[in-house]
Chains A and B, each alone.
Chain A
Amino acid sequence: MRHVARPIRIEPAFEDREYVRSLFDRHAPYPTMAAYIPNEI
């Protein structure tokens, strides 16, 4: 089996989590995931 780096849990992830959360509102709207997928086989 190929070596795969072991996952690490990070806590805290952000210095200011509420600020990061506020960015979601600020940078809306969001297209669908399907809109990003190119047409291919």
Chain B
Amino acid sequence: MPWFRGNWALAGEPLVNSAEAILYNAAFIEAARTAFSASAIRPKTVVVNVNGPMPAGAPHVDVPSFRGAARDHFPLRFLLAMGASELFARWQVTEAGAISWFYEGLGGGFDYWPDGRDGPMLCEQSPFGNVAIIADNDRMYHRIGRIGDADAVLPKMTKAAVVHPSDAGDWIVTEDGETRTTYAKSVMRLSILWKAEIITEDRPTEAENALHLDRIMEIFKSDLRAKRIQHEEPADPFTDDAWITLLEGTYLRSFAR
């Protein structure tokens, strides 16, 4: 899939020149304050996506993080199950996400479900102007709409490929020194994702910050017992596929669209 990414700022630190101008974008910060009734905003992340023609992505929520449980130490599927279960809401780190696009081609809209998966889908469509949507993308379902023609041929490439612009303005996908494909500038969808931690007046107490694996498992198992769902103690809750699959089957509903 021709989906490429760059990290311009992580953990509040700019990684490339001029990233701080985006990290501290006043319009994003003010919108986050309003949307989330925040007392403080901590900009954390600026990532960019460069997408060639490709099918629509799956509706999804972003991987959540919790005080004491984040992707640096916890598997992504485990974190997604924690979020979907709603058992760990008071530990969840709330993040505002702003997305903006540079694309005037066919499709490539930003589809989102502000009223939940059973509500109507809204779409911010190409041609994109100087706009962004800010939302709680850890809780709001969203996806990239199909980009380009439905019969677009996907390039033959592995995850080792990279994309870069040419002097002529095209975008070239290369791997092992070979050109895999060349895209005209007009068919490449560029986007920026900004994320910031939201601080509200009702932040958790220090005691509630103490989320660790034993407590997470205690909470999960208690809920499974209450639901009368049989389960076996996993040897390693992070790598036991049966355990992870049980959590996903219990808490993650499929998106019926």
- Chain A interface residues toward B at CB < 8 A: 1-2, 4-14, 17, 20-21, 23-36, 38, 40-41
Interface pairs (6), CB distance under 8 Å:
A6-B135, A10-B98, A13-B27, A24-B48, A32-B158, A41-B244
C-alpha spacing A25/B164, complex, angstroms: 7
Query: How distant is the Cα of A4 from the Cα of B35 in the complex, in angstroms?
Result: 10
B139 contacts across to A, CB distance below 8 A: 2, 4
Cβ-defined contact, A8 with B35, below 8 A: yes
Q: Is the CB of B6 within 8 A of A2?
A: no
- A13 and B130 in contact (CB under 8 A), knowing A5-B96, A41-B75? yes
Q: Give B contacts to A, CB under 8 Å.
A: 1, 3-6, 8, 16-18, 21-22, 25, 27-28, 31, 34-36, 48-50, 75-77, 86, 89, 96, 98, 100, 102, 112, 114, 116, 124, 129-136, 139-140, 157-165, 174, 190, 192, 239, 241, 244
Distance in Å: Cβ of B199 to nearest Cβ of chain A: 14
Cα distance, A4 to B90, chains bound together (Å): 14
Q: Is the CB of B162 within 8 A of A30?
A: yes
For the complex, what is the distance from the CA of A13 to the CA of B239, rounded to whole Å?
Answer: 42
Contact A11 B129 (CB under 8 A): yes
Tell me whether B114 and A33 are in contact (CB under 8 A). Answer: no
The closest CB in chain A to the CB of B188 belongs to A24
Contact check, A24 vs B102: say whether CB atoms are below 8 A apart.
yes
- Return the 10 tightest CB-CB contacts between A and B, nearest first: A34-B159, A7-B135, A29-B164, A13-B132, A30-B4, A28-B164, A29-B162, A33-B3, A12-B130, A10-B132
